[in-house]
């Protein structure tokens, strides 16, 4: 009899409080299912057989870690709601003579039941959805989904053990909480009056400072490398700032509103301001979490979708031709017509030997150098580069001889000695002259466009293209060596060729460069960059597709978590407000007044996080954009567009959550009306 008592108490506790437990169980099942789906995907044949599948797999395992950690945090948070409501029941058991051991036993059974449902349901749902997820991923990475069922015994055991650990942590927490609360506290925990929080201006101001610092950081950082360094600093500052601002700042704001008697003592403000103030301390944390989750979703979706949908553009920029070879030359002196002709004919022979008819060929020579800019002077002394503060002053210059430029761009530019034409890729340059070490050019023409240029290594920092009369103007730079004795000027011969897709499949860049090694010119070794666009496309699709997939999955999880937080918030508030609105009605408030009050209050509280998330997103954009540039994205309008679309779609989801959860609240509250 006694042995079956505890599980029975635990079970009836769950069934009777199903309004509370159902969403919790759904989140348990959801967490396990998402983990299981990810695990199934890593075992699927799709990734094993796919080109670049390894990078997708690596991204997925990163996602698994994030999901597991997030599940722990979120389930701890959600279960704290349950615990609070169950405490009264536990207190009653205590009064009726059950000792703490017994209460712990009930709590343990409860955890066991929930974990059982969560893991069982999660494994099942995960297995069901894994095929669908595999198909989605296959579509994104343009691979073939196999026909085999996508779950295996290994994936089952993995998910099972990880979930067990997660649920055990949640269980430990509830036991510790029960043990640490005194029995009378158990009985009273729900009814103790809570003093409206004191406003803490220091906290509010430091929250504001955190956010402003992060914003300034995000807006003012120019170099993508610095953006990478400071991105996480900014993220952490924003998270801390948001929590402080929502908890302390909103209290301070409500207090301020309350002090203004003309504002406060009005029918439509009186009730909402005071009840917002009353519960802000508790709900501030929840709202801040919703805000941060929303921001994360927005940043994730906008950036991964920009990368994914911008991949072809991105690819084309790195590969202006289907096959590109950018050959490193010893110095400008080796760019003789004789040398270039020898290389060119070697290339042409390789292509002709394979029976390939090029659809287009583009070739030119250029030289590149980096340095720090001050005024109109670029210093290329390498010691300057190691200073992080110099990152923002870092500029990259590319020099194109006039004849090459005119031929490739089909232009008829003319330049005198010491004159140059400038094309600015990113950043701006407004001086009339530019001096690199001791060589100065007068900028006579500003070009508004330039021919497609392979830029695998450029434009992380502001980049200038200079068309100069001929390579003799680079004599000073050509002779400069860095600390290791390597030439500082990077002199190259670019050769790009377009061909039919069928020819491209079997063609490799090394086929073109192999024969060059026997040339006298490359006796001391040979360096080149470039490749086959088809190879690169596979890699791009695999990594950006994988990123986008993880972005979608994590966003779904985060949105679900945000919805759950909002649901619990509405639920607890509904129970609190039930009695309150009954009283107000007796005192002479009309149902309409009450409904309007509820509407404005829930709306304010609900849409504040969205508003903040929107502001966060717009300030984060400059920084995210710099990071996207690191991944090779260059089209800012496109990135802005994807961000706006992401925000719009998210708003729709958010409004949907609002409608669904607000209904729960109305239902509870209207029982008293």
Binding site for other proteins (CB under 8 A): 193, 195-196, 261-262, 265-267, 270, 274-275, 277-278, 580, 583-593
Say if residues 598 and 669 touch (Cβ distance below 8 Å): yes
Question: Is the CB of 524 or the CB of 592 nearer to other proteins?
Answer: 592
Question: Is the CB of 277 or the CB of 393 nearer to other proteins?
Answer: 277
Pairing outcome for strands 419-426 and 463-468? antiparallel
Say if residues 574 and 668 touch (Cβ distance below 8 Å): yes
Task: Outline where 142-223 has alpha helix (H).
Answer: 153-180, 183-188, 201-220
**DSSP-based three-state secondary structure for 673:** coil
Question: Is the CB of 374 or the CB of 590 nearer to other proteins?
Answer: 590
E strand spans, 235-310 = none
- In angstroms, the CA 7 to CA 106 distance is 6
Q: Compute the least distance from the CB of residue 158 to other proteins, in Å.
A: 49
Residue reference for tokens 């437990």: 21
Question: Is the CB of 76 or the CB of 673 nearer to other proteins?
Answer: 673
Neighbours of 177 (CB within 10 A): 15
Q: Compute the least distance from the CB of residue 572 to other proteins, in Å.
A: 14
Give 432-435's long-range contacts (Cβ < 8 A, gap of 24+): 433/376, 434/376, 434/378, 434/464, 434/466, 435/376, 435/377, 435/378
Q: Compute the least distance from the CB of residue 565 to other proteins, in Å.
A: 22
From the list 550, 558, 617, the residue with the least C-alpha distance to 235 is 617
Q: Compute the least distance from the CB of residue 257 to other proteins, in Å.
A: 13
Pairing outcome for strands 323-329 and 463-468? unpaired
Separation of first and last alpha carbons in the chain:
44
Question: Is the CB of 277 or the CB of 657 nearer to other proteins?
Answer: 277
From the list 90, 105, 104, 115, the residue with the least C-alpha distance to 2 is 105
Q: Compute the least distance from the CB of residue 219 to other proteins, in Å.
A: 40
Question: Is the CB of 168 or the CB of 265 nearer to other proteins?
Answer: 265
Q: Compute the least distance from the CB of residue 193 to other proteins, in Å.
A: 3
Q: Compute the least distance from the CB of residue 281 to other proteins, in Å.
A: 13
E strand spans, 390-431 = 394-401, 419-426
Question: Is the CB of 262 or the CB of 523 nearer to other proteins?
Answer: 262
Q: Compute the least distance from the CB of residue 261 to other proteins, in Å.
A: 4
From the list 166, 233, 157, 172, the residue with the least C-alpha distance to 29 is 166
Q: Compute the least distance from the CB of residue 663 to other proteins, in Å.
A: 22
Residue 495 exposure: Cα atoms within 13 Å on the Cβ side: 20
From the list 477, 416, 420, 414, the residue with the least C-alpha distance to 443 is 420
Q: Compute the least distance from the CB of residue 192 to other proteins, in Å.
A: 8
Q: Under 8 Å CB-to-CB from 425, ≥6 apart: which residues?
A: 450, 455, 458, 459, 462, 463, 464, 465
Q: Compute the least distance from the CB of residue 260 to other proteins, in Å.
A: 10
Question: Is the CB of 307 or the CB of 584 nearer to other proteins?
Answer: 584
Say if residues 578 and 313 touch (Cβ distance below 8 Å): no
Q: Which helix (H) or strand (E) holds 252?
A: helix 250-259
Q: Compute the least distance from the CB of residue 265 to other proteins, in Å.
A: 5
Question: Is the CB of 429 or the CB of 575 nearer to other proteins?
Answer: 575
Q: Under 8 Å CB-to-CB from 319, ≥6 apart: which residues?
A: 454, 496, 530, 531, 533, 536
Torsion sign (Cα): 43, 46, 50, 56:
negative
**DSSP-based three-state secondary structure for 434:** strand
Q: Compute the least distance from the CB of residue 198 to other proteins, in Å.
A: 13
Q: Compute the least distance from the CB of residue 264 to other proteins, in Å.
A: 8
Pairing outcome for strands 463-468 and 394-401? parallel
Question: Is the CB of 100 or the CB of 282 nearer to other proteins?
Answer: 282
Question: Is the CB of 2 or the CB of 259 nearer to other proteins?
Answer: 259
Helices 224-244 and 591-630 pack at an angle, to 10 degrees, of 160
Neighbours of 449 (CB within 10 A): 7
- In angstroms, the CA 370 to CA 389 distance is 15
From the list 573, 563, 569, the residue with the least C-alpha distance to 656 is 563
The DSSP 8-state label assigned to residue 392 in this structure reads: G
Question: Is the CB of 267 or the CB of 500 nearer to other proteins?
Answer: 267
Q: Compute the least distance from the CB of residue 271 to other proteins, in Å.
A: 8
Question: Is the CB of 480 or the CB of 673 nearer to other proteins?
Answer: 673
- What token pair was written down for 136? 């989605």
Q: Under 8 Å CB-to-CB from 204, ≥6 apart: which residues?
A: 244, 245, 248, 249, 251, 252
Question: Is the CB of 80 or the CB of 274 nearer to other proteins?
Answer: 274
- In angstroms, the CA 290 to CA 559 distance is 9
Question: Is the CB of 226 or the CB of 602 nearer to other proteins?
Answer: 602
Q: Compute the least distance from the CB of residue 274 to other proteins, in Å.
A: 5
Question: Is the CB of 498 or the CB of 576 nearer to other proteins?
Answer: 576
Q: Which residues pair with 468 in a beta bridge?
A: 401
Pairing outcome for strands 528-532 and 323-329? antiparallel
Q: Under 8 Å CB-to-CB from 576, ≥6 apart: which residues?
A: 279
Question: Is the CB of 179 or the CB of 583 nearer to other proteins?
Answer: 583
Q: Compute the least distance from the CB of residue 587 to other proteins, in Å.
A: 5
């Amino acid at each position: 009899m006694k042995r079956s008592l505890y599980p029975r108490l635990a079970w009836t506790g769950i069934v009777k409080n199903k309004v509370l437990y159902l969403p919790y169980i759904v989140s348990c099942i959801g967490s396990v299912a998402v983990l299981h789906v990810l695990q199934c995907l890593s075992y699927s044949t799709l990734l094993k057989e796919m080109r670049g599948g390894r990078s997708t797999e690596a991204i997925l395992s990163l996602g698994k870690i994030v999901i597991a950690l997030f599940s722990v945090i979120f389930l701890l948070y959600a279960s704290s709601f349950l615990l609070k409501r169950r405490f009264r029941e536990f207190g009653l058991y205590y009064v009726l003579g059950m000792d703490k051991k017994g209460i712990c036993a009930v709590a343990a059974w409860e955890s066991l039941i929930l974990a059982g449902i969560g893991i069982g349901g999660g494994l099942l749902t995960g297995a069901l959805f894994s095929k669908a997820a595999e198909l989605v991923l296959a579509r994104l990475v343009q691979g073939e989904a196999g026909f085999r069922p996508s779950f295996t015994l290994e994936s089952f055991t993995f998910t099972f053990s990880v979930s067990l650990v997660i649920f055990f942590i949640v269980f430990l927490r509830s036991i510790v909480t029960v043990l640490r609360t005194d029995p009378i506290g158990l009985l009273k925990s729900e009814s103790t009056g809570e003093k409206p929080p004191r406003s803490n201006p220091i906290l509010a101001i430091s929250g504001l400072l955190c956010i402003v610092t992060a914003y300034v950081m995000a807006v003012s950082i120019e170099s993508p490398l610095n953006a990478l360094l400071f991105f996480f600093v900014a993220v952490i500052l924003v998270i801390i700032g948001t929590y402080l601002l929502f908890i302390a700042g909103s209290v301070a704001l409500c207090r301020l509103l309350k002090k203004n008697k003309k504002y406060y003592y009005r029918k439509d403000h009186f009730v909402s301001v005071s009840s917002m103030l009353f519960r802000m301390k508790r709900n501030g944390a929840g709202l801040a979490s919703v805000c941060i989750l929303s921001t994360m979703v927005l940043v994730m979706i906008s950036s991964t979708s920009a990368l994914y949908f911008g991949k072809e553009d991105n690819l084309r920029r790195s590969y202006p031709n289907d096959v590109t070879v950018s050959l490193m030359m010893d110095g400008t002196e080796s760019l003789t017509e004789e040398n270039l002709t020898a290389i060119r004919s070697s290339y042409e022979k390789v292509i002709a030997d394979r029976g390939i008819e090029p659809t287009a060929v583009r070739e030119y020579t250029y030289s590149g150098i980096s340095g720090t800019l001050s005024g109109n002077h670029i210093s290329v002394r390498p010691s300057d580069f190691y200073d992080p503060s110099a990152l923002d002053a870092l500029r990259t210059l590319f020099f194109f001889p006039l004849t090459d430029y005119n031929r490739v761009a089909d232009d008829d530019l003319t330049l005198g000695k010491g004159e140059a034409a400038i094309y600015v890729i990113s950043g701006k340059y407004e001086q009339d002259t530019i001096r690199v070490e001791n060589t100065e050019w007068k900028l006579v023409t500003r070009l508004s466009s330039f021919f497609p240029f392979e830029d695998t290594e450029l434009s992380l920092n502001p980049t200038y293209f200079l068309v100069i009369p001929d390579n003799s103007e680079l004599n000073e730079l050509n002779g400069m060596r860095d600390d290791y004795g390597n030439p500082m000027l990077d002199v190259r011969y670019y050769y790009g060729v377009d061909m039919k897709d069928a020819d491209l499949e079997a063609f490799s860049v090394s086929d073109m460069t192999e024969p060059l090694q026997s040339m006298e010119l490359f006796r001391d070794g040979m360096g080149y960059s470039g490749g086959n666009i088809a190879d690169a496309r596979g890699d791009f699709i695999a990594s950006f597709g994988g990123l986008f997939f993880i972005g979608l999955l994590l966003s779904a999880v985060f949105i679900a978590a945000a919805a759950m937080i909002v649901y619990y918030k509405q639920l607890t508030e509904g129970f609190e407000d039930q009695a309150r609105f009954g009283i107000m009605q007796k005192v002479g408030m009309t149902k309409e007044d009450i409904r309007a009050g509820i509407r404005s209050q829930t709306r304010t509280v609900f849409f504040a996080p969205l508003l903040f998330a929107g502001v966060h997103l717009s300030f984060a954009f400059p920084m995210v954009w710099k990071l996207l540039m690191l991944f090779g994205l260059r089209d800012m309008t496109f990135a802005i567009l994807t961000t706006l679309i992401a925000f719009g779609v998210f708003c729709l989801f958010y409004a949907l959550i609002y409608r669904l959860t607000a209904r729960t609240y109305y239902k509870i509250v209207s029982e008293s009306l």
